[in-house]
Amino acid sequence: MPKVTIDGVEIEVQPGTTVLQAALSRGREVPHYCYHPGLSIAGNCRMCLVEVEKAPKLMIACQTQVADGMVVNTRNERVEQAQSSVMEFLLINHPLDCPICDQAGECRLQEYAVEHGTGVSRHDVGKVAQSKAVDIGPHITLDQERCIQCSRCVRFCNEVTGTGELDFFQRGDRTKIGLYPGKSLDNLYSGNVADICPVGALTVKEFRFATRVWYLKNTPSVCAGCSKGCNVMVAVGRKQELMTSPGQMDDGIKRIVPRVNEDVNGHWICDEGRLSYLKLESAERLPYAQDGDGVELDWEVATLLAVQSMQTAAATGRLGIIASPRATNETLYALKKLVDGIGGARIGTHRNHRGEDDNLLIRADKGANAAGAATILGTEDAVAVTLAARNGELDTLVVMGDSLDPADTIDLHGAAEDVGQLIFVGPFVDVASKAAHLRLPASAWAEEDGTMVNCDGRIQLVRRCHRPRGEGRPGWLVFQDLMRAAGVESSAWSEWGEVYDAMRDDLDAFGGTSSAAIGLLGLSTGTPAAAGA
Amino acid sequence: MERVLTRNIHKENSQSIGVYLAGGGYEGLRKAVTSMTPAEVVDAVKKSGLRGRGGAGFPTGLKWSFMPQEKTKKHYLLCNADESEPGTFKDRLLMEQDPHMTLEGCMIGAYAMQADACYIYIRGEFVFGARMLDEAVAEAYAKGYAGKNVCGTGWNCDLVVHRGAGAYICGEETALMTSLEGERGNPRVKPPFPAQFGVWGMPTTINNVETLACVPDIIVRGPEWFAGIGTDERNTGSKLYCLSGHIQRPGVYEAPMGLPLKELINDLGGGMLHPDRPLKACIPGGSSVPVLRAEECDCNLDFDSLAALKTGLGSAGIMVMDTSTCMVKALQRISHFYAHESCGQCTPCREGCGWMERILLRIEEGRGLQQDIDLLKNIADNIEGRTICALGDAAAWPVQSFVTKFRDEFQAHIDEKRCTVQGATYA
């Protein structure tokens, strides 16, 4: 393997590694704009110029492959002068409107200007004017003046989605990004262009002027939009002025961006997943436990009522359960323990399919944990349980609401009329909770920790990003409370990991894993779960 | 001296294949494909000392030898007919007046590199030249000098004329390839070099029109004959010089490589335009190369002589300026060209060219600041050598040389807030 000396330190790298990758691999930051690990190499920003000994000119680190014995300087005087001059060029026609730019605070232009710029401008002959706030797609706004022509967005649309909406128009310093005539940046992954834009030229409309990024608290989690389970970073707003109700700890999820996981989603997420928090945030929430008329019930009373109804039905084999494919493994396992403890029930999982798989990330199966549900509860379809209810075979039916989007909760098509009691467990006021005789609030996605199994059999961590609304509590806690009310033997689980490890000891499918071993990038079980198909 | 490249241009119907054949045309191609191996053709061109006439002066035979010896993919030869360097108009003459000479060179080059096709990428504005080439290609096909079974040897090679759409940058070889592929004509980062990964990802060689037009005679008369013309073994052959500016008889002149600049100006060009306005400066190789002061003009026009003066023969566009020339205005016009033609892809060139132009315009209009001269030089230094293609250098060199060699004039412009050149006239 070739050995390369970078800033005096010799390292060994794989053949074909570029100087930039080699430097980054040993924590040496070489400033760059156009290079992106998920895209082809363009070499146009010229920010990563480094000195390669014996080469007469400075070389771009992003494209220069290491050769054995190569000696590279990434920060001597000559290199720093070049980086400083490129920084100056990038800024001369930039509007410097950071105070009103959404990118401020996470802008490469700001970061490198501080690190490599001179701090003063020698440019005083008028900037090139370009268009502001150009509407280029349903979710994306373009500011042509802020653009530094790194071409990441163009390459994304050409190489990742293959839709090719964007390109450069005009020449020289009039060059601008734009849409081809008659096109709109409306592919299903368009939001990624804003993520990879190193400056504030491309912004997601839904996040525009929503908050400043330094008010955000980021939590690594997993998208629950479909069974792919793309790794994401969930940002919750913490700006005091936006917290309107007393005791409020945050002002809700402000955005979701992809988190790199080469084994799942690479660098990208789809727009539906990116914007899934909008439905969550705007949905009407079930504030507290209530009866069918909406009268608030004390939690103890509510759990007791629920358990009595379930036990009575179970005793005669007339209990039905409809599980949510977006519930965590922990919730589903607690449900299973409850059902086993009170004498069994017909359990079906809602099969939530929409559209088709695409060749990138979107999966038709919207049940983010459909695979986990199949492993824990079996593969019966909720339709069978609903039919049983309609046929008068059930006295009590427990329905879990969807934890991401109220519209995704199963529609029972009037089955509530055919059972004695419909018990709802979930976060939203939706079609099932409205029909229910007893409603138990649970937390929504991003309000509880837990695990899910994606379509490739990968166990991944879903994280609590902020406090649940109202009395909503994690589903496994709801079911643990029901177990206690029913007098069923149960462990005193106090956090998700205990539930997971109990499940691991109980179910072979999770054997050999542990809650501590899952980590931020998940754990592959090696076998894609056939379930949920 | 004997005219080689221009021997046919004054004949009646010089563009027709009949006239070309009567003057011994296509004998080089016939000789190459019937009696020489491709390697022997490459060898002959190497021995001739032919260097690229497009601007960089890279040895042609060496360039040809970079093509893979083992053919595993299609090979392409591209003829760069996108002649756009200000002050350069020699390829245009060849294509308009004697297109078959270029076509024959193309076919010999294609044979030497075992190309499957040769594309002639012609500047979009050359409407007449494109028509002449189109007609000549049709004639060459009809006579069996292109297409299937060339000269009855069973070797096939297509010859295609492709018109550009009017961008200077498309004359840069990698931008030319991108443009030919139907994309926006942006230059590509090298490596990979065209001989490995060229147009459509296939091994490709790009040669200038005049370079290829030199090849038939090298094959017919032998490399030694060609190498015998010129200054020395590194600067050989017959050369077209484009003479323009304040000169009695501007035009294209054919003379041996290494012609003394003064001889071109005073003898061939008939001397300065006005007897009372002596030579002030001369750009020897198209607008991108550094300018020469009058006292530096006692030099020979070849690659190495001009390199010794830290300028270049470039595309041999010799622009003569007399004492009525305002160097600020001249440089401002040159910088405007490069700012306009920069593809905008990479940062230093995209931003720097426009910045330099705006500063020059300010000086020219009498609003220049004291620090502007140093600033200009510094911006040019920050562009040079740091861009994807040579356009950045082409924009930087004139600025560096003008403000260094004629600094007083720029200073006077700033101090006096006006042009101080006696008799300066603006076109």
Does a structural domain hold residue B105?
yes
Task: Give per-residue pLDDT as tens, A406-464.
Answer: 999 999 888 888 899 999 999 999 999 999 999 999 999 999 999 999 999 999 999 99
Rounded to a whole number, what is the distance in Å from the CA of A26 to chain B's nearest CA? 25
CB–CB contact B347 A148 (8 Å): yes
Does a structural domain hold residue B390?
yes
Within an 8 Å CB–CB cutoff, is residue A304 touching chain B? no
Q: Of the residues B227, B248, B267, which one is the last residue of a structural domain? A: B227
**Residue B78 sits in the same domain as residue B29:** yes
CB–CB contact B385 A41 (8 Å): no
* pLDDT category of residue A167 using cuts at 50, 70 and 90: very high
**With the CA atoms of B45, B46, B47 and B52 taken in that order, what torsion angle do they form, in degrees rounded to the nearest 10?**
70
Task: Give the domain CATH number at B54.
Answer: 3.40.50.11540
CB–CB contact B344 A46 (8 Å): no
Number of domains in chain B: 3
Q: Say if CB A258 and CB A195 are below 8 A apart.
A: yes
**Residue B71 sits in the same domain as residue B173:** yes
Tell me the average pLDDT of chain A.
94
Question: Quick check: helix, strand or coil at residue B24?
Answer: coil
Cross-strand bridge partners of residue B17: none
Rounded to a whole number, what is the distance in Å from the CA of B124 to chain A's nearest CA? 17
**Residue B391 sits in the same domain as residue B407:** yes
* CA-CA-CA-CA torsion sign (B21, B27, B28, B33): positive
Measured between beta carbons, which residues in chain B are less than 8 angstroms from residue A90?
Answer: 347, 351
CB–CB contact A173 B354 (8 Å): yes
Q: What is the per-residue pLDDT for A246?
A: 73
Q: What is the per-residue pLDDT for B334?
A: 97
The one-digit pLDDT tens for each residue of chain B (427 residues) are 789 999 999 999 999 999 999 999 999 999 999 999 999 999 999 999 999 999 999 999 999 999 999 999 999 999 999 999 999 999 999 999 999 999 999 999 999 999 999 999 999 999 999 999 999 999 999 999 999 999 999 999 999 999 999 899 999 999 999 999 999 999 999 999 999 999 999 999 999 999 999 999 999 999 999 999 998 999 999 999 999 999 999 999 999 999 999 999 999 999 999 999 999 999 999 999 999 999 999 999 999 999 999 999 999 999 999 999 999 999 999 999 999 999 999 999 999 999 999 999 999 999 999 999 999 999 999 999 999 999 999 999 999 999 999 999 999 999 999 998 877 765 4
CB–CB contact B344 A93 (8 Å): no
Half-sphere exposure of A427 (CA within 13 A, CB side): 29
Q: Of the residues B188, B208, B227, which one is the last residue of a structural domain? A: B227
**Residue B109 sits in the same domain as residue B66:** yes
Mean pLDDT of A214-224: 97
CB–CB contact B387 A46 (8 Å): yes
Task: Give the domain CATH number at B395.
Answer: 1.20.1440.230
**Residue B303 sits in the same domain as residue B387:** no
Does a structural domain hold residue B427?
no
Question: Quick check: helix, strand or coil at residue A198?
Answer: coil
Which among B181, B350, B377 is the top mutation candidate for probing chain A, defined by the most A β-carbons within 10 Å of its own β-carbon?
B350
Task: Give the domain CATH number at B243.
Answer: 3.10.20.600
**Residue B197 sits in the same domain as residue B166:** yes
Per-residue CA distances from B363 to B403, B413, B426 (Å)? 12, 6, 15
If you count residue pairs, one on A and one on B, with CB atoms under 8 Å apart, how many are there?
Answer: 98
Task: Give per-residue pLDDT as tens, B50-62.
Answer: 999 999 999 999 9
Q: What is the per-residue pLDDT for A533?
A: 35
Task: Give per-residue pLDDT as tens, A287-317.
Answer: 999 999 999 999 999 999 999 999 999 999 9
Within an 8 Å CB–CB cutoff, is residue A168 touching chain B? yes
Residues 69-88 of A with CB under 8 A from B: 82, 85-86, 88
Measured between beta carbons, which residues in chain A are less than 8 angstroms from residue B355?
Answer: 89, 92, 123, 125, 173
What proportion of chain B, given as a percentage, has pLDDT over 70? Answer: 99
CB–CB contact A92 B355 (8 Å): yes
A530 has pLDDT over 60:
no
* Range name among A89-103, A236-250, B111-125 with the lowest pLDDT average: A236-250
Does a structural domain hold residue B2?
no
Structure tokens at A54: 């014996």
**Residue B51 sits in the same domain as residue B187:** yes
**Numbers of helices and strands, H then E, in chain B:** 17, 13
CB–CB contact A172 B385 (8 Å): no
Rounded to a whole number, what is the distance in Å from the CA of A102 to chain B's nearest CA? 23
Q: Report the residue from A49, A128, A149 with minimal CB separation from B386.
A: A49
Per-residue CA distances from B361 to A319, B325, B330, B347 (Å)? 86, 16, 11, 21
**Residue B28 sits in the same domain as residue B55:** yes
* CA-CA-CA-CA torsion sign (A297, A302, A306, A312): negative
Rounded to a whole number, what is the distance in Å from the CA of B66 to chain A's nearest CA? 21
Q: What is the per-residue pLDDT for A17?
A: 95
Per-residue CA distances from A118 to A123, A127, B133, B318, B336 (Å)? 12, 19, 54, 40, 27
Q: Which residue of B has its CA nearest to A122?
A: B375
**Residue B29 sits in the same domain as residue B158:** yes
In which element (H, E) is residue B279 found?
strand B279-283
Structure tokens at A381: 């379809």
Which among A171, A176, A199 is the top mutation candidate for probing chain B, defined by the most B β-carbons within 10 Å of its own β-carbon?
A171
Q: How much is the ipTM here?
A: 0.94
Per-residue CA distances from B162 to B131, B146, B181, B183, B370 (Å)? 11, 16, 11, 14, 48
CA-angle at B325, arms to B324 and B331, nearest 5°: 170
* CA-CA-CA-CA torsion sign (A203, A209, A214, A218): negative
Does a structural domain hold residue B8?
no
CA-angle at A118, arms to A112 and A123, nearest 5°: 105
Q: What is the per-residue pLDDT for B426?
A: 53
Alpha helices in A6-49 (DSSP H): 19-25
CB–CB contact B375 A63 (8 Å): no
Within an 8 Å CB–CB cutoff, is residue A393 touching chain B? no
Measured between beta carbons, which residues in chain B are less than 8 angstroms from residue A39?
Answer: none
Q: What is the per-residue pLDDT for B427?
A: 42
What proportion of chain A, given as a percentage, has pLDDT over 70? Answer: 98
CB–CB contact A89 B350 (8 Å): yes
* pLDDT category of residue A527 using cuts at 50, 70 and 90: low
Residues 333-372 of A with CB under 8 A from B: none
* pLDDT category of residue A525 using cuts at 50, 70 and 90: confident
Mean pLDDT of A137-144: 98
What are the structural domains, with CATH classification, of chain A?
A: 3-75 (3.10.20.740), 290-524 (3.40.50.740)
Give DSSP secondary structure letters for B104-166.
HHHHHHHHHTT-SEEEEEE-TT-HHHHHHHHHHHHHHHHTTSSBSSGGGSS--BEEEEEE--S
**Residue B85 sits in the same domain as residue B148:** yes
Does a structural domain hold residue B7?
no
CB–CB contact A46 B355 (8 Å): no
Q: Report the residue from B344, B355, B386 with minimal CB separation from A46.
A: B386
Chain B interface residues (partner A, CB cutoff 8 A): 167, 169, 184, 186, 189, 339-348, 350-355, 358-359, 362, 375, 382, 385-388
Q: Of the residues B193, B209, B227, which one is the last residue of a structural domain? A: B227
Within an 8 Å CB–CB cutoff, is residue A175 touching chain B? yes
CB atoms within 10 A of CB B218: 29
Which residues constitute the domain of residue B401? 327-416
A250 has pLDDT over 90:
no
Which among A90, A91, A125 is the top mutation candidate for probing chain B, defined by the most B β-carbons within 10 Å of its own β-carbon?
A125
Measured between beta carbons, which residues in chain A are less than 8 angstroms from residue B343?
Answer: 171-172, 175
CB–CB contact A89 B382 (8 Å): yes
For A520, residues 6+ apart whose C-beta sits below 8 A from its C-beta are A220, A231, A259, A461
Mean pLDDT of A488-502: 91
**Residue B405 sits in the same domain as residue B344:** yes
Q: Which of A317, A313, A386 is nearest to A349 (CA)?
A: A386
φ/ψ (deg, to 5) at A247: 80, 0
A241 has pLDDT over 70:
yes
Q: Which residue of B has its CA nearest to A151?
A: B345
Residues 426-455 of A with CB under 8 A from B: none
Sheet with A319-323, side-by-side order of all strands: A290-291, A438-441, A421-426, A396-400, A319-323, A346-349
Q: What is the per-residue pLDDT for A470?
A: 78
How far is residue B396 CA from its own chain's centroid? 18
Measured between beta carbons, which residues in chain B are less than 8 angstroms from residue A56?
Answer: 385
**Residue B407 sits in the same domain as residue B350:** yes
Q: What is the per-residue pLDDT for B39?
A: 97
Which among B179, B186, B347, B393 is the top mutation candidate for probing chain A, defined by the most A β-carbons within 10 Å of its own β-carbon?
B347
Within an 8 Å CB–CB cutoff, is residue A19 touching chain B? no
Does a structural domain hold residue B163?
yes
Does a structural domain hold residue B168?
yes
Q: Which of B349, B82, B101 is nearest to B215 (CA)?
A: B101
Alpha helices in A13-135 (DSSP H): 19-25, 77-92, 108-116
CB–CB contact B358 A148 (8 Å): no
